[in-house]
Amino acid sequence: MPGAIPRYELLDWRTRFGVVAGITGRGEGPDFDLGLWGSGPVGETMTRWRAFRGAIPGFDGWMLAHQVHGTRVLRHGQATGWVTQEGADGHVTRTAGLLLLVTVADCIPIYLVDPVRRVASLLHSGWRGTSQGILRRGVEMMIEEYSSTAKDIVMHSGVGICGVCYEVGSEVMKGCRQPHPGAGPWHLDLREVLAEQGRALGLSEISTSHLCSSHDRPRFFSHRASGGADGRMVAYLGWPLPSAGAIDATPAPG
């Protein structure tokens, strides 16, 4: 895609809602790894983060958390600078100029937007988060904290591992309440499970990325396909400040 920073964005959401929603990729040449808890040189990681932050204008605050595969979702008001929280896998805000972030490398980034009340929530959902109900928690936070209604919430499951590539044991199938006849192993499509959950919650519109972090590993990072050696992408979501200019790269649909 054009531009120095590998990014894939939901152009339709930008047009319809005015929201910035996307994910970084592996990139060409040296990997554009944004993982903060890896073993790579800190200086190189920070250089990539500065480049990433500079590529998306209109945001004074950048909100991230040390993820623990749980269901804790944080509510954010005003924030400036780059803020990292502890022990959470989701964020919700209605503050313009605050970009919500989660790191992924097979787990599913869930984007939730209420365009009526201008509420945004971004969730990190692996099989544990999916089975424990992080999607429900994110929707509940939007309703409880900002008076959203389920029928106004739009959902997208972003780039993550597909069912063909995600081979799992019985504990995962049981946890996600999926049938698992025979001796296994089984294949699980987390995005299909999340879509089922979203429909049960009454969400108005649900879409799913066609890209797989494992199948499309030349473009993305995959923990499973790399045997744990790969880096991390960053998914992001937020409303830019009204004065923000156009984004400096033409993003590709994802």
Query: Which tokens go with 57?
Result: 């204008």
Range 121-130 average pLDDT: 98
For residue 117, pLDDT over 70 is answered with yes
> How many Å apart are CA 56 and CA 52, to the nearest integer?
7
For residue 254, pLDDT over 70 is answered with no
For residue 248, pLDDT over 90 is answered with no
> How many Å apart are CA 13 and CA 109, to the nearest integer?
15
For residue 153, pLDDT over 50 is answered with yes
The residue ranking higher by pLDDT, 97 or 254, is: 97
* Residue 207 parent element (H or E): strand 205-208
Residue 143 contacts by C-beta under 8 Å, 6 or more apart in sequence? 149, 150
What ranges make up the beta strands (E) of 30-107? 61-66, 73-76, 81-86, 90-93, 98-104
Q: Report pLDDT digits (tens) over 38-57.
A: 767 889 999 999 999 999 99
For residue 252, pLDDT over 80 is answered with no
Q: Report pLDDT digits (tens) over 211-239.
A: 999 999 999 999 999 999 999 999 999 99
Can you give the pLDDT at residue 4?
Answer: 84
Environment class of residue 2 by beta-carbon count within 10 Å: exposed (0-12), middle (13-18) or buried (19+)?
A: exposed
Range 201-212 average pLDDT: 96
Range 201-220 average pLDDT: 96
Domains of the chain: 7-238 (3.60.140.10)
For residue 246, pLDDT over 70 is answered with no
Q: Half-sphere exposure of residue 51, counting CA atoms within 13 Å on the CB side?
A: 17
> How many Å apart are CA 102 and CA 98, to the nearest integer?
13
Report CA torsion sign: 185, 191, 196, 201: positive
For residue 90, pLDDT over 90 is answered with yes
Can you give the pLDDT at residue 253?
Answer: 40
The residue ranking higher by pLDDT, 252 or 186, is: 186
Least confident of 34-38, 81-85, 107-111, 171-175: 34-38
Please, what's the b/e burial string for 168-206 (b: 16 or more CB within 10 A of its CB; e: otherwise)?
A: beeebbeebebebeeeeebebbbbebbbebbeebebeeb
The residue ranking higher by pLDDT, 4 or 57, is: 57
The number of helix segments (H) and strand segments (E) in the chain equals 6, 14
For residue 1, pLDDT over 60 is answered with no
Mean pLDDT of the chain: 92
Range 94-122 average pLDDT: 97
Range 137-145 average pLDDT: 98
